Amino acid sequence: MPKIEIPLGDFLSLAEMDNTDNLEKLLESLKAELDGLNEKTVKIELNDTNRPDLWTAEGVARGLRCWKNGAESHLDSLSDPAVHIDVHSDLKEIRPFIAAFTATGWKVDDDGLESLITAQEKIASSFGKERKTAAIGFYPLDEISFPVSYAVTSPETGFQPLGGEGEMTLAEILLKTEAGLKYAGLLSDFQKYPILRDSSGAVLSFPPVINSHSTGRVVAGNSRLFCEVTGTDWHTVNLTATILACNLEDRGAVIGPVEIRYPDGNVTVTPVLYRDTLTATLEEISEMIGTDAEELDIEALLSKMDYSEIEIGEGSVTAVMPPYRRDGIHPRDLMEDIVIAIGLNNMEPVLPSEYTVGSAAPVEILARSVKALLVGAGCEEIMRPVLTSFDKISTRTKTPEPPIRINNPMTAEYGVVSNTLLPALLEVESSSGHAAFPHRLFTVGEVLRRTGDTLCHTQMNLAVSTGDGDFGTVHSILGVICHLRGLELSLKPLDDARFIPGRSAVILIDGEEAGILGEFHPGVLEAWGITVPVAGFELPLESLRG
């Protein structure tokens, strides 16, 4: 979940708040949590991954203002575009989309600059998929002579990157700069790279990697900015530009749209303002909230959530989401905002009145019965993780059936899925040489086994082992369980690499093959570092159902 850190003074002034009293509670309406607060900064964690507008100081502050004062207008009196960007061909496969705007009349201060940088980082990294679908650039407007061209160029093109010592080629930037190394993967499939230049030919930036040193450096004191967003997904690019434009407007800038001219003759004026219109019937609202919607002031409620053009007509509500949001994809999303505005703690909880019968899963009921017998037999229950290692299952224990491997393990220690429980009991034995003997252990748990050539299935197994015990000990334990469950137990000799030859067997329950039982081979014990004789058995729990 994104976390942002905002200078406290900047935050309070943006949010039009005198102090931070009640801030934690107010943030709940934005699905945000207060993560830290001191005299200088406020830290906020945002839980809604579909609301990149909230990952900025301006967005959170706007939400709090609207909650108090009602909806605001956003970018509703944009002038005609004064400047344009020419998009050249050959970008289609690489990075086809661009949106841009100018922001003038607000003098960038230190807090504002910090906020621009935070927005750039948070939005481009998470919402923009590490700059793939959207990357952001800010420039001092007066350094640029329009029109700007968005084109592709050879990796040998050179310019001085922001923070660099001198001119470098694009290829060098990817190899030698921090940003280059981080984002080179986005361009590795291509022979040519995107480039933004102004009409004098000066490089503005090498998107999505880095701005130019001469034209791409915004400092406190600038009051005329140019902002562009490039990326591989149009809606991500345009929404990002819209969010940034709304944020700068909130700080007092006048936003000027920019015309984008595509090589096929299409022309778009950006940012393109979204006005997602959502409609829900009063009946479905009433059904969902469990109260008659007619009794609610829905207009006031939606206004708190910054909706505009709220119309309550014949049995339904229609409202327009603010342009910085695009997460309203179903009437339910409108309804949730009504619920948030009402306040969850203002709704009276009631219990479902329809009668239902509770029950545990059959295998769990069986497990409970069998476990009660094992405890009576003096066995101690063990619980171990399902993920384990190939070493434990195959190399040390010599289990004949190979376990299913994890393709992307975090460590080899958890690189396979258990297909047997006996290795877990041997692991306990090898860690418990200092615990008073004898050890009678059991574990009941799910394992993952292959079904045929490609499929797999989950099965609940039971394994029992005895430390400082022999074949007879485990045989007796299994024997008494079968006896008390009314099952007929017999053993059929079968050699198995895990056990001493002649001291292992297939378990037959009521004549059906169920599992294996044996006395572990000293070689297996040695591999585990176990210094006492150990015997054990394992079978599917269901085989004890009878």
Length of the chain: 546
149, burial (CB in 10 Å: exposed 0-12, middle 13-18, buried 19+) = middle
Restricting to residues 258-297, which ones interact with another protein according to CB under 8 A? 287-291
Site for another protein contains 318 (CB under 8 A):
no
Nearer to another protein, 222 or 420 (CB): 420
Closer to another protein by CB, 176 or 368: give it. 368
347 binds another protein (CB under 8 A): yes
| SS3 of residue 110 by DSSP | helix
- Which token pair is 176? 């030698």
Contact between 126 and another protein per CB under 8 A: yes
Closest to another protein by CB, 309 vs 381, is: 381
With respect to another protein, which residue has the nearer C-beta, 117 or 347? 347
Return the residue of 66, 186, 255, 335 that touches another protein, per CB under 8 A.
335
Rounded Cα distance, 155 and 524, in Å: 59
Footprint of another protein on 32-51 (CB under 8 A): 47-50
Q: Which two tokens stand for residue 466?
A: 């005895």
Specify whether the CB–CB gap between 541 and 366 falls below 8 A.
yes
Pick from 84, 235, 261, 503 the residue near another protein by CB under 8 A.
Answer: 235
Contact call for residue 359 and another protein (CB under 8 A): yes
Question: What does each C-alpha distance from 359 to 191, 365, 403 come to in angstroms?
Answer: 63, 9, 33
22 binds another protein (CB under 8 A): no
Q: Is 363 in the site for another protein (CB under 8 A)?
A: yes
Segment 406 to 445, residues that bind another protein, using CB under 8 A: 406-410, 414, 417, 424, 427-428, 431-432, 434-436, 439-441, 444
Among 380, 529, 534, smallest CA distance to 467 is for 534
Nearest of 304, 307, 299 to residue 277 by alpha carbon: 307
Among candidate residues 232, 341, 356, 247, the one with its CA nearest the CA of residue 297: 341
Binding to another protein by residue 484, rule CB under 8 A? no
- Does 380 bind another protein (CB under 8 A)? Our answer is yes
Output 8 or 340, the one with its CB closest to another protein. Answer: 340
User: Is the Cβ of residue 222 or residue 430 nearer to another protein in the bound state?
Assistant: 430
Pairing of strands 455-467, 439-451: antiparallel
By CB under 8 A, tell whether 537 contacts another protein.
no
**Residue 127 binds to another protein (criterion: CB under 8 A):** yes
Question: In the set 371, 398, 485, 503, which binds another protein (CB under 8 A)?
Answer: 371
Interaction of residue 480 with another protein, rule CB under 8 A: no
Could you give the C-alpha distances from 11 to 19, 28, 46, 49, 322, in angstroms and in order? 10, 17, 15, 22, 21
Neighbours of 99 (CB within 10 A): 29
